[in-house]
Amino acid sequence: MSDATDRDALKRQAAEAAVKLVTDGMIVGLGTGSTAAFAVEALAVRHRQGLRFMGIPTSEHTGAQAKAAGIPLTTFAEHPQIDLTIDGADEVERGTLNLIKGLGGALLREKIVAAASRRLAIIVDGAKLVDRLGSKAPVPVEVITFGLEVTKARLEALGSVAKLRLTATGEPFVTDSGNRILDCGFGQISDPARLEKRIGRIVGVVESGLFIGRADPVFIADASGVHRLDSPHGHHGARRSSSSWASPARARPPSPSSWRGGWAGPSRRATPCIPRPMSPRCMPAFL
């Protein structure tokens, strides 16, 4: 068999393992890309076997595939919270399970769906596992068309080589939301969480393909079989209810170091401040 055929077989194995997480009555996020397509196929088989669930697709292409396969679809207007999303990734970082996604062009909708999900299951073949994000893949950044040149310059000021994504015919690639994508090569990324925040602060950026702390679990298929990796931190998405995978965390008082001038702790009182003209003690903390 060819390398492509071998990789497709591995992707299918990972997809079939992840689909086993789906149970009756779930709302399932449907990912985009060649690996996620195998998950949609496997879900269609389970649906024909009697499993009841509804899907929310992350792209028009996935929505069309799901409809053709007979998978019932729903929307956020009807179901604002997703139980489980199954999607692929372009890179998975060992240890952290942080991701680069978006080479399929659906990163914005993929991140919206991931953020609304109680759990995000990622399916990849072994070639996608890296020691540092950015080792093989660029970071896709979705941007609006207006001022694209300025946005590109600011992304390059962060240390990237940014290239406008083109179609096979040489035209700019257009996302389902009508935006463009800049593929930003940063090389190996030492602090992906910090980079995600810096990219997000650039005016004109819609979203980046850095998915930090969202994957849990990751199914990796290689020549020795399918391996499951669980995140040590859990998924940063929709809040989990007591009826799903975890109970909601108990509320805690704010940390004294998290803000100024309000929290005195349980063992002492905050002294009231009587305003006086030009009193340094009463000056606002932000001055």
Residues labelled as active-site residues: 110
Q: How many CA atoms lie within 13 A of 199 on its CB side?
A: 29
Structure tokens at 189: 């990324």
SS3 content of the chain, % helix, strand, coil (to 5): 25, 20, 50
Tokens 């040489």, located at residue: 170
State the Cα–Cα distance between residues 97 and 84, nearest whole angstrom: 17
d(CA 194, CA 221): 30
3 state SS of 167? coil
* Omega before 217 within 30 of 0, i.e. cis: yes
Q: Are strands 225-229 and 84-87 parallel, antiparallel or unpaired?
A: unpaired
Length of the chain: 287
The SS3 of residue 253 is coil
Inter-residue contact 106 to 142 (CB < 8 Å): no
DSSP class per residue in 163-175: EE-B-TTSSBP--
